[in-house]
Amino acid sequence: MTEHKYTFERFERRTYVKGRFKGKFIGYLDQEKSDQKHERFFDLEILEGDIYTTQNNITRWTDGSESHDAIPPSGFMTRAPGEFRVTLQYIDGSIKHFRIRLQEISLIRCQLSNQVYKGSEVLGTIEGYVSGYILHFDSIIEAAPLYTNVEEPVAADVEEEERSRSTEPLMRKSGIMSLFGRRRYRSPLNRSGCAGITGVGLIGLFLTGMIGSVKHWSLSGALLLLTIAVLLIIYRINSWLKQRYPSGFMRHLIWMLCLCALVVFTLFVIYAKNDREKDQPLAGTSKEHSRQNSDSFNYYFDEAKVFRRDRKYMPALNSLGKASLFATPQNDKQLVNERIEVLTLQADALVKKGQYKEVIQIYTTLIVLNRTNSVYYYKRAEAYFENGQVPEAAKDLNIAVNMGDRAAKVMRDKINPIERSVRYVTLCNDGTFSNATGSGACSYHGGVKQWNYAVYEDHRKYE
From first to last of the 463 residues of the chain, give the pLDDT tens digit: 456 666 666 767 788 888 888 988 888 887 777 776 667 777 888 888 899 898 888 877 655 455 555 555 566 666 777 788 888 888 888 888 888 888 888 888 888 888 888 878 888 898 988 888 888 777 666 666 665 444 444 444 545 555 444 434 433 333 333 333 333 334 444 444 455 555 556 565 665 565 555 555 566 666 667 777 776 776 667 667 766 766 667 767 777 777 777 777 777 776 676 666 555 554 445 566 677 778 888 999 999 999 999 999 999 999 999 998 888 888 888 999 999 999 999 999 999 999 999 999 999 999 998 999 999 999 999 999 999 999 999 999 999 999 999 999 999 988 888 887 788 888 898 888 888 888 778 888 888 888 888 887 777 877 7
Q: What gap in Å lies between CA 427 and CA 462, rounded to an integer?
A: 30
pLDDT of 382: 93
Q: Is 268 left (phi over 0), alpha (psi -120 to 50) or beta?
A: alpha
Asked if 94 and 279 count as a contact pair (C-beta separation under 8 A), the reply is yes
Sign of CA dihedral 75, 325, 306, 310: positive
- DSSP code per residue over 83-145: -EEEEEE-TTS-EEEEEE--EEEEEEEEEEEEEEEETTEEEEEEEEEEEEEEEEEEEEEEEEE
Question: For residue 451, what are the CA distances in angstroms to 121, 242, 440, 443?
Answer: 73, 137, 13, 14
CA distance 405 to 303: 35
Instruction: Give the span between the Cα atoms of 201 and 207, in whole angstroms.
Output: 10
Q: Give the sheet arrangement for strand 418-428, strand by strand.
A: 433-434, 418-428, 448-460
Strand partners, 324: none
The answer for residues whose C-beta is within 8 angstroms of residue 212's C-beta and 6 or more apart is: 270
Query: What's the pLDDT at 173?
Result: 37
CB 442 within 8 A of CB 434: yes
| 458 residue type, one letter | D
Give the whole-angstrom CA distance, residue 137 versus residue 98: 19
Q: What is the pTM of this model?
A: 0.38
Report the interhelical angle of 248-278 vs 217-244 (nearest 10°): 160
- What does the DSSP assignment read for 287-325? HHHHHHHHHHHHHHHHHHHHHHHTT-HHHHHHHHHHHHT
The answer to whether 318 and 116 have CB atoms below 8 angstroms apart is yes
